[in-house]
Structure 1
Amino acid sequence: MANEDLFWYQHNNWKTGVADKGGWKGRNKVGDGGWQTYKNVFASSDGIVYGIDDAGDLYWYKHDGWLSGTPSWQGRNKVGNGGWQAYKNVFASSEGIIYAIDDVGDLYWYQHDGWLSGTADWKGRNKVGNGGWQAYKNVFASSGGIIYAIDDAGDLYWYRHNNWKTGVAEKTGWTGRNKVGNGGWQAYKNVFASSEGIIYAIDDVGDLYWYQHDGWSSGTADWKGRNKVGNGGWQAYKNVFASSGGIVYGIGAHLASAKPAFPIKGSRHDDVAGGHMQTDFTLDAGGNLSAVTRWWTNVKLTGFTGSVTMVLTDENGIALWAANPQTHGVDGEWVGNDDRHENWSATVPSTIIDQVRGYAILHQHDPHWRIFDKGEKFLDWLRSDEGKETVGAIVAIIAIAA
C-alpha cells in the first residue's frame, strides 16, 4: 500500500465561486504519510479531522494550522474504541456532530463534546433516522445539521436535522426530504461540502466544481454555480473532504517515495480569453517530451492568442524545469482559421528526469504573460510563493504512480 500524505488547500473564493488565480492557497503538505491506513477520514468545522481505522477505532486531530496551511497539529487522540468500521458511512456536520449510517439504513447521531479538546467525551448513540439511508449513493453534511444525499438516479436531496444539537429523535426533528437537484450528481467521482451550503464536486477527469446552495437553510432548490474552480488533478487523490470556510483536504500518494513510471502521459483543457486550449503530452524515460496543443474558439468574430508551457516538479511540488512556451493564435469562426493543432517537443535534462514526481500544464492568454519568456527568471518565479500559488490554483500537481 502506497504511503499517503495529507494536503491542504484554502479556497479564498469559497463564498463566491469566482475562478481566478488568486482564488486558492496551497497545495501545502500538512501531514506526512500514514493517512492511507484509515478506512475513512472526514472533517467537522474549524479544522477538526477524524479518522477510522480497520479495527473501528476513531481518532481525533485538531489542525491548528487549518487557516494558514501550516503543519501544526494536536492529536492523534483515540476518542472511540471500536465499532465504527461497521458503519456503511460516517460523516460530520459542524461543532463535532457526527452521523453514521448502518447496513440496514438507520441513521445515528453522536455529539463529540470533546471536539475542540480531543477528550473522549460523548453524547449519543441516538437513532435519528429509521431505515432507507443505505439506499443513497452518497450522504454528506454541511454546517448546522444540513444533510445532502445523492441517489442512484443522480438526484440530490436535502434534509435539515432540526435537533442536530440535541440528537432528540422525534417527528418534528427533521425538515425535508426535498429534492434540490435533478439528476447528474451520480456522475461525479466525489461530492462533499464545506459550511453554509457550499458544495464541491470532482468529475472523472479531475476537474473541481463549486456550487452554492442558496436554499441550504430552507430546502429550496435555489443555486449559484456550476463553476469550475479547479482544472484537473483532483481525481488523483484517494479522498477529498472539507472543513468549514472553504478549507479542503486531499489524501494522496507520498511523492517522496514514488518513482516515475514511464512513459508519463497527461492532458489538460482550459477556457482561455473566450476560447479554448487543450494539451496532451507523453514524456519518456530518456527525457523526450512530445506534445500537441489545440487552440480553438466558438466565437464568430473574435479570436485569441494563447501560450502553453509544461512544468515538471519534485516531490515537494517545487518546479524543476519548464518547457519553452508555445504561442499561437486563432481567428473568429467567421474571420479565418478558428481551430489549429500544433505539435511541439522538448528535451528534459538527464539530471532532472529521475527527480520528477509531478507536472503541471499552464495555459495562458498571451501576450500579457510575458514571464514565460524569461527563462531562469520564470523558474525562479515558479518557485516563489506567488508562482507556487499560481500552479496550485491552476492544477493540483499529480503524483505519478509507480
Structure 2
Amino acid sequence: MAADKIGIAWAVDPKSGWGIYGYNIIRHLCLRTQYTPVALEVSDLGFVDPLEAGLIKDRTSVPLNENPECLAPYAGTGRRLPFPVLHARGGNAAPQFSKLSNGVIGRRNHALTFFENARITARDVDIYNRFASVGAGSTWNASLLKAAGVKNVAAILQGVDPSLFHPAPKRGCFEGRFVIFAGGKMEYRKGQDIALKAVKIFVDRHPDTLLLCVWGNHWPEAWSYKQFISSPYIDSVPPPDAEGRLQLPKWFEAFGLGRQNLHAFSSFPHIHTAALMREADVGLFPNRCEGGTNLVAMEAMACGLPTIISRNTGHLDIIHDGACLPLESQDEVPAFHRSIDTAGWGESSVDEIVEALEFAYQNRDEAAEIGRKGAQRMHELSWDRQIAKLLAFIEAHGLD
C-alpha cells in the first residue's frame, strides 16, 4: 500500500528551529506532493502569510489541536499508526518537542537529528538503528553517526526560503550607522559572549557601530544557557529575572555596551526577519558548535549580508570560498562535563573577528560582493530543494 500520509512527530510553531523545519516539511508536502502531512503535536500553522497559511491548513491534518488525547492509544503501546512518521531527535537520541507524540510509532519510522555532543554511546546507536533511516542536519553530525555504527545515515541540510530571504534595498532605519546583525538562541555554544567581546572592542574603535541582535532563550534555566560559566569573557552569568525571563540588558552591561550602540530583541517574527537583517552591513556568527548548518546564519547570507562565520561543525556545510568571511582560528573548547565530548567545536579568536569587522567596515563594495555570492550559494539550498532531497531519502528507505 502506497503511503498517502506522513506524520510529523514534533511541535510545528515559530519558537524553535525545529518548528521552522517542520513547517517547511509540511509546506513542501502540501504544495509540491500528493502526501498529506499529519501534525502529531499541537501545532501553530498560522505564523506565515495568510495565503500560504490557508492553503496549508486545507491540506494538513492537525488532529491534536482538536483532541489532545487522540494519540494516547498509541503512545508507548507498540500500536502503530497506519502511516509513516518522521521523528525529531537531539542529543543522546532524545525526542525533541514531542510532548504528546513521544512513544508514538508509525508504519515506518525515520529520524531527523541535530546534536552537539560528539560522544555517541552504544545506547544512542541502538536507538538510531531502530529507524529505517536517519537524516542528520550536517555533514559533521552524519560523520559522527556513521563512525559510531549507525546505519542508513545521510546529511540532509536545512534550507532557506528565497522568496523571503534575498538581497533587497534597505529601508534606512539606521542611516549613518555601521550595523552588525547577530541572531540565535542565547546559549554558550552560540558564542554570544565571544561576539560581545569583539563588538565592544570594535565599538570603541568605531563609535558609529550598532549591534542589531535577536538573542532569545525561552529556557534560561536550562544547562545550555548556564554553560556560559565556562566563558573566558564574563565573570558571572546573568540569571533569569523573577519571571524566569532572559535579561539581555544585563549582558550588555557586563560587556560595557551602551544603549547608543544597541538595538536588541529577544524574539522577532520569522516572516519579518529578512527585512530586519537587510538593515545590517555584516552578519556575525562566532558559534562554538552547530549540529545543523545554523539556520539564522543561512538566512542572513541569503539576504546578501557578508557574514562572519566560525569554521567548525555544521558551519562547514555553508562556508564557501568568497561567499562569506570565515573565522579560521578555531581553538579547542574544553569539555564542560564528563558526559560531553567537544571534539570538532571551535573557540573563535576575538582578534580575528575584529579584523573581519574592520575589513567589512573599510571595504563596503568588496564586502557587498561577498554578500552577493553568499546569497547565490544559499539560494541553491532552498527549502523546496532540500525537502525534496529529504523526501527522496526516506522514500528510498521505505514508507510502507
TM-score by length of 1: 0.28
**Greater strand percent: which structure?**
1
Which has the larger share of helix? 2
Q: Larger relative CO (CA 8 A, sep 6+): 1 or 2?
A: 2
